Chains A and B, each alone.
Chain A
Amino acid sequence: MPIIEARGLSRTFKTRGGTVEAVRGVDLTVEPGEIVGFLGPNGAGKTTTLRMLTTLLKPTAGTATVTGVDLLGDPSAVRAKIGYVSQAGGADPASKVEEELVLQAQLYRIPTPEARKSAATLMEQLELTGLEQRASKTLSGGQRRRLDVALGLVHAPSLVFLDEPSTGLDPQSRSNLWDHIRRIRDGLGTTIFLTTHYLDEADALCDRILVIDHGVIVAEGTPEELKRRISGDVVTIGVGGATEKAAELFAGHLGVRDVGAVDHTIRLTVEHGDEALVGLMRVLDGAGVPIESIQLARPTLDDVFLTLTGRSLREDS
């Protein structure tokens, strides 16, 4: 049974300028144990969708079940079963690491002794040991973010929502955070649903990606699938003066979608470039065309996003 199933989830906001349709009919399904990335530029509707799925915002239309519970029918049962880490974090700057974790567990109605135990386990898991008595405002960016994540995990939820988890972190802290998120999923089987506007984050961390733009989901799949489906791989082969002959050879060749010649190189768009490479070389070899160089480029998610929406993600971020 899916852990999240949403149908036609929508939210409109009334502003002075009129009605804004922030989310326009989102359908999504998440299976237990997945790390799913919700990818889109700022203002695409990521956070609004997340706030609806976490009971913080009432949908104006649509239905959803989260952890098997009807989102609209029993929001407090949903709240008890999910974890949520907002973009702002959630740790009070003046409070100490340990007391924040214990309090959060207590707010989940966990008896105090177990709350302490849960806090201690999480501090160990997320490398916060030794910082128990430190005020959260004195932590480094990475430590602070790990505390925020820990606050979302104190009650061992089967599903946790992370809103832009690595925003503002330096590259090292980011990849460290990714390791932790992966380890939580691998160790506890926690389903993780995160929003991001970083392609590298979606690519490196997520099993599956939902691309959202202007309030609707425009594509979904594994990072590999998305890249393959949308752009194909680009193979560039240096063939000296024989570009015309090579172009003829490849036209209509199985799996080759597009052929172009630039200077002394030939540029092919192929599906499954890594598998096709050997075959392509054999074709040239058999026809006596010399191969000077060969290069295989996988498309990035940025290419994917550009193809899907006509905009680059970076422009928005």
Chain B
Amino acid sequence: MNFFRDTLLIFMRQMRLSLRNPAWVVIGLIQPVLYLAFFGPLLKRVAGSGLPGFSGGNSYKFFVPGLLVQLGLFGAAFVGFAIIADLRAGVIERMRVTPVSRLALMLGRVLRDVVVLVVQAAVLVLAGVAAGLRAPLPGILISFGFVAVLAASLASISYTAGLLLKSEDALAPMLNMVMVPLMLLSGIMLPMALAPAWLNGVSRATPFRYIIDAMRDAFQGHYTTTVMLEGVLVAAALTAVCLFFGARAFQRENA
């Protein structure tokens, strides 16, 4: 029971801090909304031209899932900066010396990041609907599930990197080095179906490719496809691995 109370306490504290400064939640949405407004219209005619990967019809069913992943890659993946500030202020040390579960120190934070990202995703989908997105509600809700596990994975791994590197100067280039190729290889802007075989192969080695494809299926209303199953399995595995490393980082020096 203590573990749940600890997690809840940390979650509530982090939520309070986020709500005190809601500007960041809004700022995080600016980039994907700009993409939606200024890049989305270009896709309309591309999608209508019968190219593979668009499944025809509504181009926003293709584009909005990509933007949801991008939101995670540039939102949740950067929470590691906050943990470095906490380290510097002695907040982590102060909490580590209490009997609080160290896993709760991470999970409370990760839960906050999940909530923030799902709220941002909801706003982004609403903006998408305003732009012309027409997708079934169950499909949208399934995609929020993917957004949640994506947030949990990226936040945990970002906290791990922050705790290990302990320096913003090291974390920023590292995140860019990892996130930019992952983003390009996941097919956020254009379908990987357009890619030459080698690029498609490389893309298949990265996790977000599967998650995006599954989310696109969900937006099409296809819930029982192989792609969906692959997406769910990859998302679950990714979350497990990231949470494992995050937990280890928070429990280090558990003398």
Contacts and interface: CB of A to CB of B under 8 A. Distances in A.
A29 interface: no
A103 B13 contact: yes
Interface in B34-77: none
Looking at chain B's contact residues, the main secondary structure is helix
A312 interface: no
Interface stretch (A76-84, A188-196, A223-231, A289-297): A76-84
A94 B21 contact: yes
A109 B2 CA distance: 8
A297 B253 CA distance: 48
A151 B94 contact: yes
Contact of B9 (A79, A82, A84, A103): A103
B230 interface: no
A109 B254 CA distance: 19
Contacts of B13: 95, 99, 103
B16 A92 contact: no
Contacts, number: 83
Contacts of A72: 255
B99 A56 contact: no
Given A56-B255, A103-B9, A86 B99 contact: no
A95 B21 CA distance: 11
A62 interface: no
Interface string B1-43: 0100110010001001100110000000000000000000000
Given A95-B13, A109-B2, A90 B255 contact: no
B98 interface: yes
Nearest to B91: A92
A91 B90 CA distance: 7
A71 B254 CA distance: 12
A278 B78 CA distance: 73
Interface in A63-78: 71-72, 75-76
A85 B254 CA distance: 18
B253 A56 contact: yes
Interface residues of B, number: 25
A241 interface: no
A71 to B, nearest CB: 8
Interface string A268-308: 00000000000000000000000000000000000000000
Given A88-B88, A95-B17, A107 B6 contact: yes
A107 B2 CA distance: 9
A309 interface: no
A143 interface: no
A94 B17 contact: yes
A176 interface: no
Interface string B68-112: 000000000000000000101111011111111000000000000
18 contacts: A52-B255, A55-B255, A79-B98, A79-B99, A80-B99, A89-B90, A89-B94, A91-B90, A92-B89, A92-B91, A94-B20, A95-B13, A95-B17, A104-B95, A107-B99, A108-B98, A108-B99, A109-B99
Given A87-B90, A92-B91, 18 more contacts: A55-B255, A57-B255, A75-B254, A79-B97, A79-B99, A80-B99, A84-B93, A84-B94, A86-B94, A88-B90, A91-B91, A94-B17, A94-B21, A95-B16, A95-B17, A104-B94, A106-B5, A107-B98
The 4 closest A-B pairs by CB, nearest first: A90-B94, A88-B90, A58-B255, A90-B90
Interface of B: 2, 5-6, 9, 13, 16-17, 20-21, 86, 88-91, 93-100, 253-255
